[in-house]
Amino acid sequence: MTLKIAILAPIAWRTPPRKYGPWELVTSNLTEELVKKGYDVTLFATRDSITQAKHVATCPRGYEEDKTINPDVWKLLHISEVFERAEEFDIIHNHFDFPALTYSKLVNTPVLTTIHGFSSPEIIRVYEKYNKHCYYVSISNSDRHPRLDYISTVYNGIDVSNFTFSSQSEEYLAYLGRICFEKGAYEAIQIAKKSHKKLKIAGIIQEPQYFEKFVKPHIDNDQIIFMGHITNEERNELLMNALALVHPVRKPERFGLVMPEAMACGTPVIGFDLGSVSEVISHQKTGFVVQNVDEAVNAVKRLNQISRFKCRKRVEQLFSKEIMVEKYIHVYNEII
């Protein structure tokens, strides 16, 4: 019997996202690969989403893309749609965070939630309430809350074919991610300046005051270049030609899709040792796991020790969408 799977996507952005939207990207990769394997999949996502699965939509567009959309209203309409049809499915796979859990005891269909992150300590209360009733997957071993039970850890998977491998690089460092305190854009600038390397910064400005105070004063479009919110094609170009990706996070990383994306291009990663960074990077083989800016600067000097081929190979073996889907299928079968 073919499993009937409902995938509940987030609705901040389109699935798959046009530019930014890591949760939507992972949801899309999972959905399309399951369809390819012959599973009966229904994707609950924004109306403008693109999928080969059956598609159910209530919200017309992502609320981050269209500010006329009220998130509080459309989140409820979106979540309720899948649970009102729960009897049609063997399993509901929730990628839409904690609100969906509050519907789970109203249906008989098992609910699996991939916990992509905890936006606030307060939401742990919701996960705790449904801990014995629902199934939780963590996206890294480091991102597990001690008061919650997990059925598995499944690393996020990328479409490796979307990233061009290059055995050569140019002489610049890359920073790709949200421009905010926790992702360490300022630290990336310090690493570049102390290393006497050019730095290309790309990403959405999540914290405007942080950008104005800590990033903008250093942008000269010569050594420190700001590219803004880039397309998927520009992302591939940025990562493929970089000497290294610098990922100097200030808070524990949940998973960090940009790290395997860079390594898929053959580009080593220099990351601060917080959260999943030491799980994703193989220290001294696909990059360097460091403690601070000065250690990162020393790592830049050692980048010639890293095999770009091994970077790509690690992604193919651990962080591809195919590997991710096989692990989720195992989880589905265990639940059923």
Domain-wise residue ranges, the chain: 4-157+320-335, 160-317
Rounded Cα distance, 173 and 189, in Å: 10
Q: Which two tokens stand for residue 291?
A: 């403690």
| End-to-end CA separation in angstroms for the chain | 12
> What integer pLDDT is reported at residue 2 of this predicted model?
87
For domain 4-157+320-335, the CATH architecture is 3-Layer(aba) Sandwich (3.40)
Fold match, 4-157+320-335 / 160-317: yes
Q: Which two tokens stand for residue 272?
A: 């601060």
> What integer pLDDT is reported at residue 119 of this predicted model?
83
pLDDT tens-digit series, residues 162-202: 999 999 999 999 999 999 999 999 999 999 999 999 999 99
Angle at 308 between CA 302 and CA 312, to 5 degrees: 135
- Residue among 46, 48, 38, 50 nearest 2 (CA): 38
Q: Mean pLDDT across the chain, nearest whole number? A: 96
- Residue among 279, 224, 223, 228 nearest 252 (CA): 279
Element (H, E) at 331: helix 321-335
Q: Write the DSSP symbol of residue 55.
A: E
pTM of the predicted protein model: 0.93
pLDDT tens-digit series, residues 234-246: 999 999 999 999 9
The CATH superfamily of 160-317 is Glycogen Phosphorylase B; (3.40.50.2000)
φ, ψ at 44 (rounded to 5°):
-100, 110
pLDDT tens-digit series, residues 95-138: 999 999 999 999 999 999 999 988 888 999 999 999 999 999 99
Residue 1 clears pLDDT 80, i.e. is over it:
no
Q: What percent of the chain has pLDDT over 70?
A: 100
How many of the other CB atoms lie within 10 Å of CB of 48?
16
